[in-house]
Amino acid sequence: MVTINSAPGRGDAFDPECPTRVVLDRIGDKWTVLVIGSLVDGPLRFSALRARIGGVAPKVLTQTLRAMERDGLLTRTVHAQVPPRVDYELTPLGTSLTGPIATLTEWAETHLVRILTARDDYDTQAEAR
Amino acid sequence: MVTINSAPGRGDAFDPECPTRVVLDRIGDKWTVLVIGSLVDGPLRFSALRARIGGVAPKVLTQTLRAMERDGLLTRTVHAQVPPRVDYELTPLGTSLTGPIATLTEWAETHLVRILTARDDYDTQAEAR
DNA sequence: CAGCATCCGTTCTGATACTG
DNA sequence: CAGTATCAGAACGGATGCTG
């Protein structure tokens, strides 16, 4: 049994098992969303992922992939070959995350201009002082 | 004019103006979602917010609030009184963010158990080695 | 009351170089 | 090919003390 949301309606950012925190910690990460986006069309191997995303240090990519694997978002398949070949593929769970992400992206695209404008106003305001 | 999503379907995590990144950077922050959650029922003053959230250093809370104000998510109203009194209130923009957050929270609550189970499996697996 | 200044330990990040 | 090892720099988080 797992206790969910001990403080209903509020959430507890300290609780490492707070559902929202768990998810936010993962997709708040720069690389995770890019990995998901890169894998929606099908499995990819390490170097392909690396090339597709661009600018990722191998270490960081590995970290990201391991974290996602641990959370059951993707599978890591090692083929016993020389040279080695490792495929990464989204699990159904990982794929299902694309939904909420899309919602967020939509909101983001719709409201970005407002945010950017607000920033601009704020900054010129501050500048004036 | 603002260019949106220069690399359609993929997103560019490096572009500081990528809509998804802007939003993710904000709500990926531990405190932002708590602030939003605390303000949905109406405006609150600094100390009330602080008490409601619990465990926030004033500096960090200020940072969060400033960032949110800058993005137009909330307003900061200073009342000319002694002692000073400052009210924080969600803007319509800020309120509209509760939608996507709710979507995410729902997903999170639905799938948390799976994630936690996956972690457990992964960890015991690693432990066995 | 609201918050700024300061400081410090920790974490994160990425670059670079090397290996099974 | 698919990582691991190492390391320096930056960013962050938080505690403390002080002020308009």
Q: Where are the domains of chain A?
A: 3-128
Q: Is the pLDDT of residue A2 over 80?
A: no
Which of residues 2 through 21 in chain A touch B, CB cutoff 8 A?
2, 4-5, 9-11, 13-14, 17, 19-21
- What per-residue confidence (pLDDT) applies to A6? 43
d(CA A25, C1' C5) / Å: 30
Q: How many CB atoms lie within 10 A of CB B108?
A: 24
Sequence-distant (6+) residues with CB within 8 A of A66 are none
Instruction: Name beta bridge partners: B85.
Output: B79
Q: Which two tokens stand for residue B89?
A: 């209130």
Has domain A3-128 been given CATH number 1.10.10.10?
yes
Tokens of B66: 């400033």
DSSP 3-state assignment of A3? coil
pLDDT of A129:
66
Q: Which residue in B29, B96, B104 is closest to A23 by CB distance? A: B104
Whole-model pTM over 0.85: yes
Contact B109 A19 (CB under 8 A): yes
pLDDT digits (tens, 9 = 90+) for A4-29: 344 445 678 878 788 999 999 999 99
| A89, pLDDT greater than 60 | yes
pLDDT per residue as tens digits for the range B18-66:
999 999 999 999 899 999 999 999 999 999 999 999 889 999 999 999 9
The number of residues making up chain A comes to 129
